[in-house]
Chain A
Amino acid sequence: MNKEHLDIDALTKELLKKSLQKPASSNFDDQLMKKIMLSPSPEKLKSNGTYLRKAWIFMLIAVACLLTTAMIIGQLSDGYFINISTLLSITINWVFYGGLILFIPLFFYHFDSLMQTMILKRNEKIMVS
């Protein structure tokens, strides 16, 4: 970099250092802290994600266990008790009903979070106005 360029750079830095602006509202911090206090904690929000992940892992393990058990039974009985078509139909049923069973509590769980967010937004609006 040549000298002129360095000078311009230094001047820009000197000028821009004076461009820091502050919010005009005197109660900016308090207003923000109020919103934060009303908000669900980050730990709670983080655990929402793990709850879903756990549910999926649980479902996958359950399906894998079922398939293994059915294959072992089929193997031991030389296919007398279970053949591949029944194995498939059992798996499909399991996935369908299992999904349904998981869906209902999950739906209500997230419905609750949705309601919470809506209430929170309303509270924020009331507080700001």
Chain B
Amino acid sequence: MESEHIQKVLEGDANSFRYFIEKYRDMAYSLAISIVKNGQIAEEVTQDAFLKAYRSLGKFEQRSKFSTWLYKIVTNEGLKRLRKKEFKYADDVGELNNITYSEINNSVTELTEQEQKYYINKGLEMLLPNDSLILRLFYLDEKNVKEITEITGFSITNIKTILHRARKRFYSVLKEELHHEIKSIL
């Protein structure tokens, strides 16, 4: 299906590219925001990445999935922006070892769907760009470690380490956020 659309675009039907935009826009944007931590800049990064993907579609050899190839472009574009501007994020997020996952699970399930989404995204926003990027690739898009290696250029060991650390940091941030929420309600 995807190769058909690629062929159409290569034959000059630019409108066929809309298929890729509609299919991958949200995930590409989520990855961009993982890196740049700013909605407006993430939109620019996503647009630049799609434009770059369109222009270099002739070079895409279809050895990997289109999504892997596109996310690699998104990551590179995001990192380019990151180098241009400094973003603030939580480097050290408190104690990593005192996390009770069941406690977090219980607190989260008490929230509405919208509130859950808000706190999860806020938590991811506070993580290091690499941490939130890899968490989203692994859990949200269900990419395997090998595909993440292809997208980020990190080694398999490095990705496993980041995943382990990112998970802990994510829960730590989430716990803190939820703690604040409960405090503000009381």
Contacts and interface: CB of A to CB of B under 8 A. Distances in A.
Interface of A: 7-8, 11-13, 15-25, 28-29, 31-33, 35-37, 39-43, 45-46
Contact of A20 (B11, B27, B167): B27
A19 B59 CA distance: 32
B29 interface: yes
Contacts of B75: none
A104 B29 CA distance: 43
Interface stretch (B45-53, B64-72, B88-96, B149-157): B45-53
B158 to A, nearest CB: 19
Interface in B85-142: 101, 104-105, 108, 113, 116-117, 120-121, 124, 135-136, 139-140
Contacts of A20: 26-27, 30, 140
Of the listed residues B21, B26, B58, the one surrounded by the most CB atoms of chain A closer than 10 A to its CB is B58
B70 to A, nearest CB: 13
Interface residues of B, number: 47
A21 B29 contact: yes
B79 interface: no
B51 A32 contact: yes
Binding site secondary structure of chain B = helix
B139 A43 contact: no
A45 B55 contact: yes
Contact of B22 (A24, A29, A31, A40): A29
**3 A-B pairs closest in CB distance:** A46-B58, A16-B139, A42-B57
B22 to A, nearest CB: 7
A14 to B, nearest CB: 9
Contacts of A37: 14
A19 to B, nearest CB: 5
